[in-house]
Amino acid sequence: MKIAVASDHGAFELKQKIVAYLQQKQGVEVLDLGTNNENESVDYPDFAGKAAISIQKGEANLAVIMCGTGIGISIAANKYKGIRAALCHDAYTAQMSKQHNNANILVMGGRTTGIEIAKQMIDTWLVTEYENGRHQLRLDKISEIERSQ
């Protein structure tokens, strides 16, 4: 499984720790999309786009993205067709994002999420299966909105 990881400067430190954590997981290949400098201010929509496009093109199966709070980067990522980026705060919200919403991008805040909680979210998210069924009807409605725009 290939996982893209991206952040702006506000989440650089957390991104670096997550990249290292994911690289230790067997069967996971990490695509580090930057940023690679915590001292240079960058724009989170650019990094949301890199992650979203990597999924759209099949270069990554999933992504983990971050900005200071996770809010801006999640809004930006969700503008891309077929992307379901979920801002999560703990293992339960990460589980529900995959189980009910089939989220293909896990979002967290670099200034609001500690590394241990981030690890718990990632581990839970990666093993959680999408339930399909009644949830697919809702995702189909989201896809219809994307097609109508």
The one catalytic residue among 67, 88, 89, 135? 67
The one catalytic residue among 9, 88, 89, 100? 100
Structure tokens at 139: 């995702």
Cis peptide before 112 (omega within 30 of 0): no
Q: Is 89 a catalytic residue?
A: no
Contact 44, 17 (CB under 8 A): no
Q: Is 100 a catalytic residue?
A: yes
Active site residues per annotation: 67, 100
